[in-house]
Structure 1
Amino acid sequence: MVRIARGALWPVTVAAASLIAAMLVAPGTAQAHGVAMMPGARTYLCYVDALQSNGTIAPTNPACADAVAQGGQQPLYDWFGVLRSDAGGRTTGFINDGEICGAGTTKYAAYNAARSDWPVTHLTSGASIQLRYSNWAAHPGTFRLYVTKDGWSPTSPLKWSDLESFGSVTDPPQSGGPGGLNYYYWNQTLPTGKSGRHILYIQWVRSDSQENFFSCSDVVFDGGNGEVTGIKGSGGTSSPSPSRSVSASPSRSASASPSASRSVSSSPSRSASASSNPGGGGGCSATWALQPSSWAGHFQVNVTVKNNGASTLNGWTVRWSYTGGQGFEGAPWNGTLTAQPPNPAVSNVDWNKVLGANATTSFGFNATGTAPATAPALTCTSP
């Protein structure tokens, strides 16, 4: 059964427009392949942290800044390029302990640093999330999933013996074509019994060549919903708060062709004046919030669901209607699409099904078409 994204986090949208702009101007960008975007790998989140609107790299995170000082800016312009062309599925003994996050390469060596201030994604042990892995170049193959063992410390160099397997997936679907900010995605149950800081490690083993890709994502199992801290706009390295957390996944982009032309507006934080229109019914209400990053033919929305009653709500569905031909671009996160446009409906997933009195949760989605000038009327019902 497909279950959509716990922790796709998006109270605030990363500046997708800036990412696109940097792809157009980045010096020497390699046509490499991909790392994790949810939870974000070190190179990806450092790129999000460092990227300026004019395409230059200027990290605010201290670990990212030190990595750039050591290895230069190009590894972040090539955030998707942590690979070995001769790996052939090998692990222990192929890449030396302490060099695993950088795939044993000189180019990405700075991203092996054993320190506790890398950007981090907040997750919940045992939750079902939608993992996302960049498909900058698309290949058939298997994604092998690992997490650090209990007792591992972020200030200790990562060793193969620190990792334990918790799953794999072969040839998952893609959100769109290669060459931009699209990704492979699949729904994955996280390991149970985890708490505190860990690394989620992914090795992408191509089935059509010896080339493999390697990805270190710093996470903390603290009951989080996928919030990212430690990058610009996220409130430093403190615990996430709903008003300051940052999305680890930008909206979908098209290929970064030099001939691409888009009307783009972006903001590194959620707009307080975003259109909203609460709807009610069945003990719950829903509020529509158009996110600030958008470009022609695409928009992103976050919907907050609230239990207005004094008793526990056991399940919810939000419905609305489109009049302009809008559609969904991929699956929602933190919700299950149960009816298609023009009269879409999104219901809870397992982890956010039960809401206590006055409790809230949220889901979000990328959409095609022009965002409605006025937020549609939402209705929220419960069984």
Structure 2
Amino acid sequence: MAGRSRLISLAAVLATLLGALGLTALWQGKAEAHGVAMMPGSRTYLCQVDALSGTGALNPTNPACRDALSKSGANALYNWFAVLDSNAGGRGAGYVPDGTLCSAGDRSPYDFSAYNAARADWPKTHLTSGAGIQLQYSNWAAHPGDFRVYVTKPSWSPTSALGWNDLQLVQTVSNPPQQGSPGANGGHYYWDLTLPSGRSGDALMFIQWVRSDSQENFFSCSDIVFDGGKGEVTGIGGSGNGTPTPTPTPTPTDPEHTGSCMAVYNVESSWNGGFQASVEVMNHGTEPRNGWAVQWKLGTGTQINSVWNGTLSTGSDGTVTVRNVDHNRVIAPDGSVTFGFTANSSGNNFPAGTIGCVTS
């Protein structure tokens, strides 16, 4: 993790220097898959649903989500689907330390450590013990593999750090079907799960997605409560953690997507009145991608003033599109390219909504 962090920092510094000189970088990297549980919603998924404001600012109402944003930063919350370890290879107990299961052992490209916090006020999904549910897991990038589903034992408390001995394996599913496009907020794998019987009160569902085509694994922690509920969510949108309302988990509006292409947005640095960001454009297809374009709507009060490794166009509604330049037109299978930009900002440094690939 330390080596990867140094590499990311070096790339950011290099991009800054090259951008200032009007030059371009030619690196390509390996694209990573992404995904966490959407039903029942993981901590990172529900916190980003709670936080999205439509202005480019992240303003969660849930106190646990607010603290996680403060401690782990906005990049982690905006990239809610990236709780991963590129080298896990299906390993769990003895490899991922107790107390760090919700952050992929602190080996993710982003800092998800705050989402390990042992507290009882995370957003919750209300379920019925012994009932059947359709479990949904984001296919932000689709890959073959197994999903290992665990539920905490009755002795576990939400105010205790989560360890492997707290978990009971309840299901393993291989290559379940998908619904919706990869790289979209609403796209997901889905399968049926019968919940443990004879349970009441708080619990946590932990899922480890083990890819069969690489060593990369994904980790997901969903806070649940067995109280006769049918999937209602509390603790987001100012709803508190009391009696659940019969409202399904909301799904943010998606931009258009183009299947195997996905874009990941990252604020590299910020200052009073502006920021620098990068966008990694990934090809999760099996064939080279010839040409790409990424589109999003800028946060309120934000204006891009320079771009490198891409060409910028701006629509009349404020939507921006960045397309490839000649040297990075082709993205290899399971590869990626990165473009960067600087912008003036009043503090809304993230897109007003989501970012995605569009037809180039």
Query: Same fold by TM-score, threshold 0.5 exceeded?
Result: yes
Distance 1:204 1:76 in 2: 20
Verify the 8 A CA contact 2:135 2:192 in the aligned structure 1.
yes
Which residue does 2:90 correspond to in 1? Answer: 89
Once the two structures are TM-superposed, the CA of residue 44 in structure 1 deviates from its matched residue by 0.3
Once the two structures are TM-superposed, the CA of residue 241 in structure 1 deviates from its matched residue by 2.7
Which residue does 1:192 correspond to in 2? Answer: 197
Which residue does 1:21 correspond to in 2? Answer: none
Query: Secondary structure at 1:131's aligned position in 2?
Result: strand
Distance 2:294 2:116 in 1: 36
Are residues 121 and 253 of structure 1, via their aligned partners in 2, closer, same or farther at CA, if it must alter by over 3 Å?
farther
How many correspondences in the alignment?
230
Q: Deviations over 1:62-98 (max 9, x none)?
A: 0000011111111111100000011111111111111
Distance 2:226 2:116 in 1: 21
Give yes or no for the alignment of 1:110 onto 2:114.
Answer: yes
Give yes or no for the alignment of 1:241 onto 2:242.
Answer: no
Once the two structures are TM-superposed, the CA of residue 246 in structure 1 deviates from its matched residue by 4.5
The share of aligned pairs that are identical, in percent, is 60
Which residue does 1:48 correspond to in 2? Answer: 49
Distance 1:52 1:188 in 2: 33
Once the two structures are TM-superposed, the CA of residue 43 in structure 1 deviates from its matched residue by 0.3
Letter in 2 for 1:237: N
Length-normalised TM-score, structure 2: 0.61
Distance 1:184 1:246 in 2: 18
Letter in 2 for 1:167: Q
Once the two structures are TM-superposed, the CA of residue 177 in structure 1 deviates from its matched residue by 2.3
Give unpaired runs (5+ residues) of structure 1.
Answer: 1-29, 263-383
Q: Deviations over 1:270-313 (max 9, x none)?
A: xxxxxxxxxxxxxxxxxxxxxxxxxxxxxxxxxxxxxxxxxxxx
Letter in 1 for 2:55: N
Distance 1:63 1:158 in 2: 16
- 139, 143, 149: which one pairs with 2:147? 143
Q: Return the structure number with greater strand share.
A: 2
- 164, 167, 177: which one pairs with 1:163? 167
Verify the 8 A CA contact 2:146 2:209 in the aligned structure 1.
yes
Letter in 2 for 1:183: H
Letter in 1 for 2:244: P
Once the two structures are TM-superposed, the CA of residue 31 in structure 1 deviates from its matched residue by 6.1
Are residues 261 and 156 of structure 1, via their aligned partners in 2, closer, same or farther at CA, if it must alter by over 3 Å?
closer
Q: Deviations over 1:32-55 (max 9, x none)?
A: 500000000000000000111123
Which residue does 2:59 correspond to in 1? Answer: 58
- 210, 215, 236: which one pairs with 2:215? 210
Once the two structures are TM-superposed, the CA of residue 254 in structure 1 deviates from its matched residue by 4.2
Are residues 223 and 115 of structure 1, via their aligned partners in 2, closer, same or farther at CA, if it must alter by over 3 Å?
same
Which residue does 1:71 correspond to in 2? Answer: 72
1:261-340 superposed matches below 5 A: none
Give unpaired runs (5+ residues) of structure 2.
Answer: 1-30, 264-292, 298-360
Which residue does 1:125 correspond to in 2? Answer: 129
Detail structure 1 runs of 4+ shifted over 4 Å in the superposition.
Answer: 248-254, 256-262
Once the two structures are TM-superposed, the CA of residue 261 in structure 1 deviates from its matched residue by 8.9
Which residue does 1:39 correspond to in 2? Answer: 40
Are residues 74 and 260 of structure 1, via their aligned partners in 2, closer, same or farther at CA, if it must alter by over 3 Å?
closer
CA RMSD after TM alignment: 2.1
Q: Deviations over 1:332-375 (max 9, x none)?
A: xxxxxxxxxxxxxxxxxxxxxxxxxxxxxxxxxxxxxxxxxxxx
Verify the 8 A CA contact 1:179 1:254 in the aligned structure 2.
no
Q: Deviations over 1:175-203 (max 9, x none)?
A: 12211120111111111111100000100
Q: Return the structure number with greater helix share.
A: 2
Are residues 57 and 83 of structure 1, via their aligned partners in 2, closer, same or farther at CA, if it must alter by over 3 Å?
same
Query: Secondary structure at 1:102's aligned position in 2?
Result: helix
Q: Deviations over 1:315-334 (max 9, x none)?
A: xxxxxxxxxxxxxxxxxxxx
Distance 1:68 1:216 in 2: 16
Which residue does 2:101 correspond to in 1? Answer: 100
Verify the 8 A CA contact 2:149 2:169 in the aligned structure 1.
yes
Which residue does 1:347 correspond to in 2? Answer: none
Distance 2:159 2:88 in 1: 27
Distance 1:194 1:202 in 2: 19
Letter in 2 for 1:93: G
